[in-house]
Amino acid sequence: MMNIPTQRGSLSRRHFLRGAGACLALPFLESLSRADTPPATRRFVCVANPFGMIADAFFPTETGLDAALPANLAGFEKLRGKFTVFSNLDHGIGGGHSGTHAFLSGVRVQEASAMPNGNVTLDQFLGVANAGRTRFPVLNTSAGSDNGGSCELSWTNSGVLVPPMQNVSGVFRKLFVEDSADKAATKRARYDRQGSILDAVQAQAEAMNRRLSKRDQTKMDQYLTSVREVEATIQQEKQWIPRPLPKVDFTEPKDGPVTQQLPILFDLVALALETDSTHVATIEIPGGFDAKGVGLEPKGYHAYSHHGKDPTLMAGQRAIEKYQLDHLARFIQKLEDRGLLNSTQVLFGSGMGDGSAHHNSNLPVLLAGGTHRHITHAVMPSEKGKRVRLCNLYLAMARQFGVDTERFGQSTGTLDAFGA
């Protein structure tokens, strides 16, 4: 028999608390853990690319813990038992490149208004739940310019795209370089000024709201939600100004092409987790990936992804993908060596299944770490009527993070376990 995840319906709750900060820890679920007690600190990292993966280089052909790994996952051999590749998980949507932006939410931008939490992505959802515990509720980063295609990975529940920091030098300074006294004072004054402006805007908007039509009231509510999000962010950032940044033994890095920045960015995110600067982070692998950095002809990453089954282009695409996965494996191993992997769920994937065919089905999804019972390769039902939504996995991840929620995105249930 194949070892595959099982589904179940939502947990029964007398009260379902919604909104920022209204998050409680679920009781510990044995089926989601290998340990007797959950880790005190829970962390989450998502790594994503915009163009998917070549299937035979990513998905094992066997199932279960002992499944043989394809060539591009060779770097994960020492991590066996600490990760799971999922087959046949997706969001049930299309759109090609536009569908990639729903990877971490399950909801396309144009459909967000019909959802209770819009197209909020998992990182922002968990960041709200964790707000105030770390200097940066969410650390959104990219290994360089998005020239050539981007993931547009992170979205707030009011439908605002969160742009990632695109250079390792900027990420390093934000995490570990103190502001001068003058700059800190200027920042504090700016926060005070912004807070005053927001107070005035909100008061005027609420007074105006009584005279608006139902449709305009809905628009105004969305606007006020955005104002409150900004207000909360300002208050959270302001309280950290007087607190010193952590000291680390790491030289300020120089910016460069993606192949130079990506390994450094993984190291910086590991340090951010280790120093409790953040518990939630994203790393976008941009479409501006420099093929020359992996020994290829200097075509764009996008051009290689449009291989059309051409053997030369496919070989180039495999090399680009192997580079990404090798450094992902190195990052996960680093978390394991530092005692962080048991408390950190690391998600890798893309909202694009096949970059050449432009489909958004059977997404490449790998989950490592946390206290999940990993089985190397889990094959979900492929039949149309039995398909499991990727958001069901996200719901399980949110609950393991400690968020009390009945659903996430387009979830229809949750994944209790990945196998026996």
Complete DSSP assignment for 102-156: GTTTSS-GGGGGGSTTTT--HHHHHHHHTTTSSS-S-EEEESS--TT------B-
Strand 344-349 vs strand 43-48: parallel, antiparallel, or unpaired? Answer: parallel
| CA atoms of 351 and 123, how far apart (whole Å) | 15
Q: What is the pLDDT at residue 122?
A: 98
Q: What is the pLDDT at residue 11?
A: 33
Tell me, what amino acid is at 19?
Answer: G
Q: pLDDT tens across 92-121, in order?
A: 998 888 889 999 999 999 999 889 899 999
Q: What is the pLDDT at residue 36?
A: 44
Q: How far is CA 316 from CA 54, 303, 310, in A?
A: 11, 10, 10
Alpha helices (H) along 210-310: 214-240, 258-274, 301-305
Q: pLDDT tens across 194-223, in order?
A: 556 656 666 676 767 667 777 776 666 666
pLDDT at 12 > cutoff 50: no
pLDDT at 31 > cutoff 70: no
Closest CA to 363 of 382, 384, 381, 349: 349
Query: How many residues are there in the chain?
Result: 420
Residue 9 pLDDT grade (very low, low, confident, very high; cuts 50, 70, 90): very low
Q: Average of pLDDT values for 364-378?
A: 96
| CA atoms of 162 and 394, how far apart (whole Å) | 19
Q: Tokens 């249930």 map to which residue? A: 413
> Taking all residues of the chain, what is their mean pLDDT, rounded to a whole number?
83
Record the tokens describing residue 142, joined without a space: 């990219």
- Other Cβ atoms within 10 Å of 95 Cβ, number: 17
Q: What is the pLDDT at residue 261?
A: 96
pLDDT at 234 > cutoff 70: no
Q: Average of pLDDT values for 393-416?
A: 93
Kindly report the pTM of this predicted structure.
Answer: 0.81
Residue 359 pLDDT grade (very low, low, confident, very high; cuts 50, 70, 90): confident
H/E element, 196: helix 181-209
Q: Which has the minimum average pLDDT: 159-168, 205-214, 224-233, 318-327?
A: 224-233
Query: Quick check: 284 and 153 in contact, CB under 8 A?
Result: yes
- 289 CB-side CA count, 13 A: 30
DSSP secondary structure letter of residue 349:
E
Phi-psi region of 367 (alpha: psi -120 to 50; beta: other; left: phi over 0): beta
DSSP secondary structure letter of residue 158:
T
Q: Tokens 């196998």 map to which residue? A: 419
Complete DSSP assignment for 290-318: BGGGGT--S-BHHHHH--TT-HHHHHHHH
Tell me, what amino acid is at 336?
Answer: E
| CA atoms of 205 and 191, how far apart (whole Å) | 21
- 92 CB-side CA count, 13 A: 15
Q: Tokens 């941009």 map to which residue? A: 286
Chain-centroid distance of CA 176 in Å reads 22
Q: Average of pLDDT values for 35-43?
A: 69
- Other Cβ atoms within 10 Å of 285 Cβ, number: 29
Q: Average of pLDDT values for 370-386?
A: 92
**Which of 90-99, 139-148, 177-186 is predicted most confidently?**
90-99
